[in-house]
Structures are given as structure tokens and as C-alpha cells.
Structure 1
Amino acid sequence: MIQACQPAAEENGQANTTVSDAPSCSSGMPARYASQPDSAATTAKEVSHEGMVWIDGGTFSMGASDAEGRPDEYPQHQVKVSGFWMDATEVTNAEFAAFVEATGYVTTAERAPDWEELKKQLPPGTPKPPDSVLVAASLVFTPPQQQVPLNNPGQWWNWKKHANWRQPQGPGSSIKGREEYPVVHVSWHDAVAYARWAGKRLPTEAEWEYAARGGTQNKRYPWGDEDIEAGKPKANTWQGRFPDRNTTWDKHAGLAQVKSFAPNKYGLYDMAGNVWEWCSDWYAADYYGTASTAPALNPVGPTSSHDPQEPGMPKRVLRGGSFMCHSSYCKGYRVTSRMKSSPDTGLENTGFRCVSSK
């Protein structure tokens, strides 16, 4: 079953879905590799702070303080982070292309699944699928032609052969003229490999939320509490009726070039909307409930993953929402919204940015 973003919670803070039908951002498919793809060719170079913003450390309240969040956004707890550098924008196609040219790196979406690895994660006796299925592919957003129920993301996600960062909509598409758009169809493994090559790393979930808040406390969005569709467009999200009708009030039907919207108070762009961004942490639905009363210093998340919706599939955290987020379905653009996905999953609405403590 193909899955995507979780529907928005009801006002009492409880998700309006059941465990059996609540979708996540996972592909609903087993991991394609038993371990991270080989990154021997991605030796770190000296880090450059060009295009990065310095963020002073501090203590903040992490997690939701209102009743709009999903259960995994509670309880709010105190966290302290040290100062760090963060990319002002999501990593762009041009930046990722430079990495690939320098290293010869091949992304997860460009690799055909290995059946010998796949079957290790499946029940014994599972028959091998046809070779036509075991091809390089990724998930592409394909809007339906009419209104559909929101409990089956397979109605708007299409597992498309040979879709990848170079061909975001599949064969025939390209990134020519889109060099300053965020790179997409990158797995967590791909993001880690790029960050290592750049001499950087992925942000922890705590660093990401601290940075997204821009020095504010208990605000719903990176710009404050004003509703996302009040005044001028503030982020690249979905307007109209998801998933079949987008009014493009924000001038974008899909991805937007980086820096298309105003930055937050730290000078960071697209900390809400455009693409979901990988963090370094494992995802555990109950992780916040294990936090101590004293501020945690530079937390790195749980030691392992647990998602009760798919307990057998380890997942990593994503933050920030995407161009597909809408209030009726996925309020991922809220500063406390958490999402999760298997580390080998690539989607048309998933990218990343890097940080550095050096």
C-alpha cells in the first residue's frame, strides 16, 4: 500500500484516523537495501559557510502548545541546543548535481531493488515479484481528476519507473531551467551522503524546530500565528481542495524555486512548505513522552525507530511540510509537525538542508 502524509488532527489533539488507515510518508514498501548505500566516494571536503546562516544556541519549548497537533507532537518539553550553521535554503538541484559530478554517486531511486535483500525483510515464502517490478523507481505526485476520499494516498501517488532527481516526473521530464529548485526524490541515505561530502551533516529534529521557530516561542508557524492563507502567500502549500484542485493562490502548482517566499527571522527560507526535509533522528511516536523535566542538551532522538502504524519498518524524521500540505489533510507546515518515512524512500515532495557545528 502506498502511503503519504497523515491527515490533520482534530482540535482535541487526537488524530482523526485509526491505526489501520492512518497514512504516513512511507512508501508502504519494504526497504530496498539492508544497509546504507556505499558512500566511500563521498569523503568530506572542508566545510564552507557560504549560503549558511549562523544560529545562536538557546533553550526552547519543543513540541505543540496548542490543540492542533497530532499525538506525536506532545508533550511539549524543554530542549537546549548549541549554536550551529544551517543552510539558508533547501539543497538545490545545482548543488546536488555538483556532488554527483564530483563523486559519481548514484541515488537510491536510480538503483534497481535487490531481491536478495528485499526477501530478508519479508515473510518466509513470499514469492519473487516479476522482474518488471524490480526496477529503479520513485513516488510521483499524480493529482486525480475528481474529488476522492482522503484515506487512500495511492489515489494520488504513483510509483513511477525511472523517476529520480534528474527526472522528477519520470522519463521525459528534467531539471533543466530548474537549477535553483530544491532537489527531490532523495532518500535519507542520499541526503547523508551529500552532507558528508559537503563537510556538513543533517540537522537533528531539535535543531530543525529551533531554527524554524526563528527565535519565537509557542508560535504555530515560522512567521507567527497568522493563518497561512491570510494576507500575502507565506509558503508554498496547497490551496483549494486537496488533492484534485489547487487554486495556486501562492503562484505555485508544484515545487517553487528556493527563496520564493520571505525568510523567517533567522534568515532561513522555506522552513514551511515546498519540500519535506530529512532530519538525522530515528522516528519514535512516543519519543516526546520519554523527555525529562530538565532541558535536554543537544538531543539526537531515540536510539531506534518505532512507528505503531508500521512497526516492522524503521523510519527517520522529516520536518517542514511540502507543496502538497493543506489544512484539510496535512498541516505539515506547522512548526511542530512531525513526519516519518523509511530511509530509502524518495518522493517528489522530499528534500533536505544541512547544518554544521564547525
Structure 2
Amino acid sequence: MQKSRSVVAMGMASCLVLGACTSIVGVDKPYHLDGDGGAGGDASGGGGGGGDAACTPDEARCLENRPQTCDEAGRWQDEAECPSEAPLCQGGSCTTPRSCEGLGAICGPRGDEGCCASLVVPGGTFDRGAAAPRLATVSDFRLDRFEVTVGRFRKFVSEYPAAWPAVGAGANPKIPGSGWRAAWDPELPVDRQALLSMLRCEDPYFSWTDEAGDNEILPVNCVSWYVAFAFCAWDGGRLPTAAERHYAAAGGDEERQYPWSGPHSAPEPDESYAVYGCGHDGSCELADLQQGGSRSPRGDGRWGHADLGGNVWEWVLDSFATDYPLECDDCTVITPGANHMIWGGGWRSEKTTLLTSAFEERPPKGKFAGAGFRCARAR
């Protein structure tokens, strides 16, 4: 990968899309996207809705990712929050995302964790600034513990192109208009064969195999931003915003220099913390890419997420931009035609890319052996 365009933590604004232009709005108050994208369907994965609606006893539904049941008085009652191993609420019940159905507990450093484990990131405010403070606030959300693996992606491939997202799918529930747009349909591979061709970029460094084998626990790479978005929407989630991804890596208000740092310490990277740096002497091999969580728990972030630094760079929702407000709430930037952002550094990258503030810009149509993704979900 090329040297980072910037390693400065950024504050971003929500983006109102008008044709090919981007307008920054709501910099003095909480705000949302309000454009031509449309928020689309229910982001809860179930029947969600207002908490005061009447109901029939024994009826069940989802309010975002929390089951609710109807009591004898016809009132909705919250049930226990969905656990990390079954983080998706559908039809009033907690379940594993479809990409992990039948996959088994094969992820993590010992190969005994579910690959779809999704951990809660408590919301808050942190400083993404450099010389000047730039405060970003994010609401509670879930972020997958591991980067999306070849095994998980195989389920998506098996359903493609029926797995194409509907308009509005994959939206951040706090940002109306952030879901899939019909204008993006032409950017997806037209059929399964075209998708398989995409997954073979930068031979011999792609992790995909046409048949299930030893690579099932490796992060999938060679995936464009559009395909990453489509996968997360299909899987009942969404791409995290840049603010969310940065916040999780920085440990929120601890504002860590590296994901494994404490609030007052920043151990320098070495191979015991992260997977990085194989390419500097020209000796990179696919074997240098490691299974998700190979450096756990030593290299985990504050809330238990693996590989927030290293292994593969990760696509986020945001486009790359240069003008950002000093404060923002649940914010993102989406600019048609602009480059998008990847965060976290990768197996072929230098150690400065492991900084929690480090990102690079890439064309959303691009596919790179150094880049993959992980999904976010409603809490």
C-alpha cells in the first residue's frame, strides 16, 4: 500500500448529497443525512417501531437489535439485549447473522470463537483533532470482533446476485439517507462469475479460494467498497462510519495512539501486537496474512475487537474529504464519485499505519489485496 495520505484524526460532518456536490450541514447541532438516498427499510432487522404502539399479548418484535415481547396489558416490554454471539434481532429473536449460519466456532486465536461475534462499543465523545480539537460523538453501536472472513463471504457469494441490496439497505439508523442507493447498482459485479473475478486481484495475494479450505478463517480481501457495503447490508449490518471505526480503535475517550495502548501508555508496535510490515523487504507471501484474532488478546482494542491495527485495511462508509467541522454527532461524509477511506493498516504496511488516526483514500471501485472490511450493527 502507498504511504498514508494522512494520519491526522478528523472531525467529519454529515453530507447532504445534491447531484455531484457535497454540502456540509448541521455543524452546530446533531444532524442527519437528508438527501436523495432515502433511509430505506427498518434497520432493526425485525418489526421495530415506536415503544408506545399497542400490541397483542405474546406478540414479539425487534426494536433495533433488542427483542421485545407484548405483555398481558398490551404493552411492549424489552427483553435481554442480544448477546455478542447472536447479535442480530429478527422476528423478535436473537440470531447469528446469515454469513455464520452453519459455520461453527472457528475464529479467534484458538479457533473456538464465532466469526460473527459483534461487541458493543459504548457511545461517547472523543477528540479526532491534531493541532485543533475536533470533537466527534458517536452513539452506542456494535462492531464485529473480527474482520469478515473468507468463510463468511462464501455464503454471500453462494447467494449472489440475489444478495444485491435493496434501496435503503445497510443504513446507519442514526443517519437517515445513509443506506444503499440505486445509483450504485452498476458498480456491483453483474453476476457471480464477475464477483469471483474481482476476488482474484493482485495474484498471488488474494485470500479467496473457489472451494472451502484452509483460508476460511483468513480475512477476505480484494473487495471493493460497493461489495463491502452490499455484504454488510445482506448480513443484517452496515459499514461503520469513519468516526465509529476511529472511536473503537482509539478506545473512545482514552484516545489511544494504538488500539492496544492504555490511556497513558503507547507500546510501540511489534509482531506480538499486530500483523504488518511483511512487504518492506519484498518477501511478502499470502502466508503472512493471518487468521482474525491471531494477536488476541494482546493486540485487542479497549472493547475486545481484534486487528483494529494490521492484518487488512478496512473500508468505512465515508468518502474522503478535506473540510471538516470542529464538532459533529453521528456523522459521515458521502460524496458521489469521490474516493473512500480505509483504516487500520495492513499486513503489507509500515507501522505508522497502525496508529488509530491513520487512514488512506482509495477509489470505491478498487480492489486491493491489502484491504478488507468488518461490519457494524445496531446495539
* TM-score interval, normalised by the smaller of the two chains: 0.5 to 0.7
Whether 1:202 and 2:239 are equivalent positions in the alignment is: yes
Whether 1:80 and 2:142 are equivalent positions in the alignment is: no
Inter-partner Cα distance in structure 2 for 1:9 and 1:344: 21
Inter-partner Cα distance in structure 1 for 2:211 and 2:44: 28
Q: Which residue of 2 aligns with 1:299?
A: 331
Q: Is the 8 A contact 1:53 1:268 kept in 2?
A: yes
Q: Which residue of 1 aligns with 2:338?
A: 314
Q: Is the 8 A contact 1:87 1:354 kept in 2?
A: yes
Q: Which residue of 1 aligns with 2:124?
A: 58
User: How far has the Cα of 1:87 moved from its partner?
Assistant: 0.5
Q: Specify every segment of 5 or more residues in structure 2 that has no aligned partner in the other structure, as ranges.
A: 9-42, 47-64, 66-85, 88-95, 97-116, 165-187
SS of the residue 1:194 aligns to: helix
Whether 1:256 and 2:256 are equivalent positions in the alignment is: no
User: How far has the Cα of 1:253 moved from its partner?
Assistant: 4.9
Q: Which residue of 1 aligns with 2:216?
A: 179
Give the AA of the match of 1:166.
W
Q: Which residue of 2 aligns with 1:89?
A: 146
Q: Which residue of 1 aligns with 2:269?
A: 228
Q: Is the 8 A contact 2:4 2:353 kept in 1?
A: no
Q: Which residue of 1 aligns with 2:179?
A: none
Change (3 A) 1:338 1:177: same
SS of the residue 2:228 aligns to: helix
Whether 1:346 and 2:378 are equivalent positions in the alignment is: no
Q: Which residue of 1 aligns with 2:302?
A: 265
Q: Is the 8 A contact 2:200 2:208 kept in 1?
A: no
SS of the residue 2:366 aligns to: coil
SS of the residue 1:101 aligns to: helix
Q: Specify every segment of 5 or more residues in structure 1 that has no aligned partner in the other structure, as ranges.
A: 14-42, 66-73, 114-134, 143-162, 168-172, 306-312
Q: Which residue of 2 aligns with 1:355?
A: 376
Inter-partner Cα distance in structure 2 for 1:136 and 1:197: 18
Whether 1:237 and 2:280 are equivalent positions in the alignment is: no
Q: Which residue of 1 aligns with 2:39?
A: none
Inter-partner Cα distance in structure 2 for 1:335 and 1:196: 25
Matched positions, count: 246
Q: Could you state the TM-score of these two structures normalised by the residue count of structure 2?
A: 0.57
Q: Could you state the TM-score of these two structures normalised by the residue count of structure 1?
A: 0.60
| Structure 1 counterpart of 2:256, from 219, 226, 229 | 219
User: How far has the Cα of 1:214 moved from its partner?
Assistant: 2.3
Change (3 A) 1:54 1:315: same
CA deviation digits over 1:78-113, x for unaligned, max 9?
Answer: 011000011010011111111222344596497669
Percentage of pairs with the same residue: 25
SS of the residue 1:332 aligns to: helix
Q: Which residue of 2 aligns with 1:150?
A: none
Change (3 A) 1:140 1:75: farther
Inter-partner Cα distance in structure 1 for 2:277 and 2:207: 22
